[in-house]
Amino acid sequence: MRFALSDERRGFARSLDDLLGDAGVPAASRRWADGDSGPGLEIWRRLAEMGVSALRVPEAHGGLGAEPADVVVAFEALGRHLVPGPYIESVVLAPPLLASAGGGPSLDDLAAGTAIVTAAAPPMAPLALDAHVAHAVLVLDGSGLSAAERGEARTSVDRSRRLFEARPAGAPARLDPAVAAGALDAAVLACSAQLLGAGERALATAVEYAGSRRQFGRVIGEYQAVKHALADVRVALDFARPLVYGAAVSLGEGSPDAGRDVSAAKAATSEAAHLAARTALQTHGAIGYTEEYDLGLWITKIRALATAWGTPAFHRARVLAAVTAATG
Amino acid sequence: MNLDLDDRERAFRDEARAWLAEHVPASPLPNMDTAEGFEAHREWEAVLAAGRWSVVSWPAAYLGRDASLLEWVLFEEEYYRAGGPARVAQNGISLLAPILFEYGTPEQRERYLRPMADGTEIWAQAWSEPEAGSDLAALRATAARDEARGGWVLNGQKTWSSRAAFAHRGFGLFRSDPSARRHKGLTYFLFPLDAEGVTVRPIPKLDGHPGFAEIFFEDVFVPDADVLGAPGDGWRVAMSTAGNERGLSLRAPGRFCAAADRLLTLWKERGAGSAALGERVADAWIAAQAYRLYTFATLARIERGESVGADGSVNKIFWSELDVRLHETALALLGAEAELRGAGAPCDGAWMDGYLFALSGPIYAGTNEIQRNIVAERVLGLPRGDR
């Protein structure tokens, strides 16, 4: 496998970074947490202009029909910049489900970003994220897809994730099980990419801080104990990344190993991002533990994403089942 | 994920697979750090060379196949999947040979490469000294100029020299200009281990076998013909070796993928019922897969002409700890029987032997503490400081 990002994808990543770097995302995230979704939805609109909402919609409906690797590039940027909102649900999960089962908002509106969908998909995602901004709530249960009503709100450790119970209304439409499984795997992959981006950002923040904060007459980044902890984060993220891109290739090729590979990516990115968050907090000390300093937004986001779309234990069990079956 | 191989690469892999299936010894060879095992492994190197599989990435003129990096990785995958023995010639092949190709004279290449490739001459590295482990700039063993005889006279002591107990020749750095500071004034020498004035004292390892040795030098004469690179340039020459050792060349993913597959088999035999162990087995498999994919991504970078540089240190930390973790997980599955070695032990004690070997990974080739400093300073850009 010649396994490198094309210039086109690098360019896409750079444009997203430029847009999101200037968009005041942490402030929008705080407003989102406080119930004001205005600035966050403005970011949604601008990302839609760049094609993010159209990625997985078929070209016949104004979408891009993009590859899973493009989704990874986009979601790594969303994670790096802490963008709030039901992007996995609306951009990755919903398009193939609605294309297959019909119902819900039109695919054209999804592609344009004018319709937002959220979904619950038990057991991996038992609650619907950000149903308060969604035009439709779906429940994917096995290969049955239902429209649902927004139920009771539940509180997440990540205050910018507003979670809701979803009550199916009416009989579920039956989906091709392969379509349902593929959509779920793509959602897990997008979550892995988000974790990777969030982990990279936590590391970058910690490295920057370690290079400027002085204690005992030297910057703390000169101390070997700090260096080694940050180096371990670099190692963990560097070896989680190829699993994410490898899973994107598997999913794009329709490989029978796609489910295994996506689960491997999710387990590894959860661990790597968690190590990044813990190490970044330890590097910062008390300032990192405060509400007003932005690092905490990434720490709580990573903690939430680590168990969203399947816990590490769930995904390890899935990997183990697949590989033990394969070794005969 | 499937590799996107072209016809030539697929043919290469298939040929390797078929040859290995026919030639890999059915039962494991004796430990190569014993006299008997050393000879058995040398004979295996000769068999490999006869099939032209001992140094696939070398030019055909030196018993190689001009294989690309990807083909080399494919060969390694097949080698470990087939259960091929550990390579007793590895020090020479992976540490010295790249230097001979880059810095060696035509005469040195003629003299040394073929006997290295077919196992006739096994090399030991002689880098570390009692006061200089990872810190090679602190080396003290000396080389004094002997103009009359056209060469150098070596004195001092080397230690932790792997394979030296049985090997034929050594390579190492000596301080040839005592007035120059640290990295300067070092020269890279090749020498026979049975030369007059050389004393080799084997040091048994954790497993009881003489896997490394101390080497004492008393007025050992080395002719100019056996200086590798320019006198005084030994540091630069050695560092290109260290780059090889820490980076891609020493640890192709095949070894870890094969171990992960053996671990899965063990899990099926012994593990059922323990969710906690199942998680560790899954993690070990995931990490081996990560290493494989990372290697292919690195190959893609090299094909694009990028240099790997300090990322070799990221790589070394990962594979050395992965190796320990894989074996620890297997030992956890073996339970109370894990401590047994040799005949009558589960898998003939291969997991415990592999574990003891893996324990050396985070220590040799530059300790992982050194590697973490390199990652922090050269990859992350943290300040060097005083240490």
Burial grade of B349 (CB within 10 A; 0-12, 13-18, 19 or more): buried
Question: Residue A1: pLDDT above 50?
Answer: no
Question: Residue A237: pLDDT above 70?
Answer: yes
Q: Can you say whether the dihedral through the CA atoms of A311, A314, A320, A322 is positive or negative?
A: negative
Cβ pair B57, B119 in contact under 8 A: no
d(Cα A135, Cα A53) in Å, to the nearest integer?
A: 14
Most B CBs within 10 A among A9, A72, A238, hence the mutation to make, goes to A238
Residue B129 per-residue DSSP state: B
Cβ pair A149, A166 in contact under 8 A: yes
* Burial per residue of B156-181, b for 16 or more beta-carbon CB atoms within 10 angstroms, e otherwise: bbbbbbbbbbbbbbbbbbbbbeeeee
Whether A235 sits inside 8 A of B283 (CB atoms) is no
B27 inside 8 A of chain A by CB: no
Q: Which two tokens stand for residue B6?
A: 């072209």
What was the pLDDT predicted at B300? Answer: 83
Helix axes A177-210, A224-253, angle to 10 degrees: 160
What was the pLDDT predicted at A20? Answer: 98
Q: Per-residue confidence at A104, pLDDT binned at 50, 70, 90?
A: confident
Tokens 């893996």, located at residue:
B358
Question: Residue A28: pLDDT above 60?
Answer: yes
d(Cα B191, Cα A263) in Å, to the nearest integer?
A: 52
Query: Across chain A, where does the E strand assignment appear?
Result: 117-120, 128-129, 136-141, 144-155, 162-168, 173-174, 214-215, 218-219
d(Cα A20, Cα A22) in Å, to the nearest integer?
A: 5
Whether A324 sits inside 8 A of B4 (CB atoms) is no
Whether B376 sits inside 8 A of A231 (CB atoms) is yes
Contacts of B264 in chain A (CB under 8 A): 323-324, 327
| pLDDT tens string A129-183 | 999 999 999 999 999 999 999 999 999 999 999 999 999 998 999 999 999 999 9
Of B1, B379, B384, the CB nearest to A1: B1
What was the pLDDT predicted at B247? Answer: 45
- What is the nearest CA distance from A252 to chain B, expressed in angstroms? 10
- What is the nearest CA distance from A119 to chain B, expressed in angstroms? 29
Of B275, B294, B300, the CB nearest to A238: B294
pTM value?
Answer: 0.94
What was the pLDDT predicted at B243? Answer: 54
Number of A/B CB contacts below 8 angstroms equals 145
- What is the nearest CA distance from B256 to chain A, expressed in angstroms? 14
Under DSSP, is residue A279 helix (H, G, I), strand (E, B) or coil?
helix
Whether B300 sits inside 8 A of A2 (CB atoms) is yes
Whether A231 sits inside 8 A of B268 (CB atoms) is no
Under DSSP, is residue A148 helix (H, G, I), strand (E, B) or coil?
strand
B344 inside 8 A of chain A by CB: no
Whether A221 sits inside 8 A of B383 (CB atoms) is yes
Contacts of A257 in chain B (CB under 8 A): 1
What was the pLDDT predicted at B69? Answer: 85
Residue B291 parent element (H or E): helix B275-303
Tokens 């802490």, located at residue:
A82
What was the pLDDT predicted at A6? Answer: 83
B303 inside 8 A of chain A by CB: yes
Contacts of A316 in chain B (CB under 8 A): 278-279, 282-283, 286
Of A4, A227, A239, the CB nearest to B373: A227
Helix axes B254-270, A312-326, angle to 10 degrees: 90
* Burial per residue of B94-129, b for 16 or more beta-carbon CB atoms within 10 angstroms, e otherwise: bbbbbbbeebbeeebbebbbbbbbbbebbbbbbbbb
Residue A232 parent element (H or E): helix A224-253
Q: Which of B245, B328, B337, B339 is catalytic?
A: B245
Of B285, B303, B376, the CB nearest to A319: B285
With a cut of 70, which residues of chain B have pLDDT below it? Answer: 1-3, 241-250, 386-387
For A311, half-sphere exposure in the C-beta direction (CA atoms, 13 angstrom radius) is 6
Of B4, B264, B314, the CB nearest to A234: B314
d(Cα B211, Cα B37) in Å, to the nearest integer?
A: 11
Cβ pair A109, A61 in contact under 8 A: no
d(Cα A210, Cα A227) in Å, to the nearest integer?
A: 9
What was the pLDDT predicted at A313? Answer: 96
Tokens 């180096």, located at residue:
A231
Whether A235 sits inside 8 A of B318 (CB atoms) is yes
B383 inside 8 A of chain A by CB: yes
Of B297, B317, B385, the CB nearest to A235: B317
What was the pLDDT predicted at B1? Answer: 39
d(Cα A254, Cα B164) in Å, to the nearest integer?
A: 51
What was the pLDDT predicted at A328? Answer: 56
What was the pLDDT predicted at B191? Answer: 98
For A114, half-sphere exposure in the C-beta direction (CA atoms, 13 angstrom radius) is 8
Interface of B with A in 82-141 (CB under 8 A): none
Most A CBs within 10 A among B81, B264, B286, hence the mutation to make, goes to B286
Nearest Cα to Cα of residue A103 among A112, A114, A94: A94
Contacts of B371 in chain A (CB under 8 A): 231
What does R_g of chain B's alpha carbons equal in angstroms? 21
Q: Catalytic annotation on B147? A: no
What was the pLDDT predicted at A18? Answer: 97
Tokens 């490198």, located at residue:
A4
Whether A316 sits inside 8 A of B278 (CB atoms) is yes
Count of residues making up chain A: 328
Contacts of A253 in chain B (CB under 8 A): 1-2
Full 3-state SS string of B55-93: CCCCCHHHCCCCCCHHHHHHHHHHHHHCCCCCCCCHHHH
What was the pLDDT predicted at B303? Answer: 79
Contacts of A224 in chain B (CB under 8 A): 369, 372-373, 387
Whether B267 sits inside 8 A of A324 (CB atoms) is yes
- What number is the ipTM of this complex? 0.95
Nearest Cα to Cα of residue A57 among A102, A90, A96, A113: A96
Whether A222 sits inside 8 A of B385 (CB atoms) is yes
Contacts of B283 in chain A (CB under 8 A): 267, 316
Of B264, B314, B383, the CB nearest to A235: B314
Interface of B with A in 360-379 (CB under 8 A): 369, 371-373, 375-377, 379
Contacts of B275 in chain A (CB under 8 A): 313, 317
DSSP-derived secondary structure for A127-142: SEETGGG-SEEEEEET
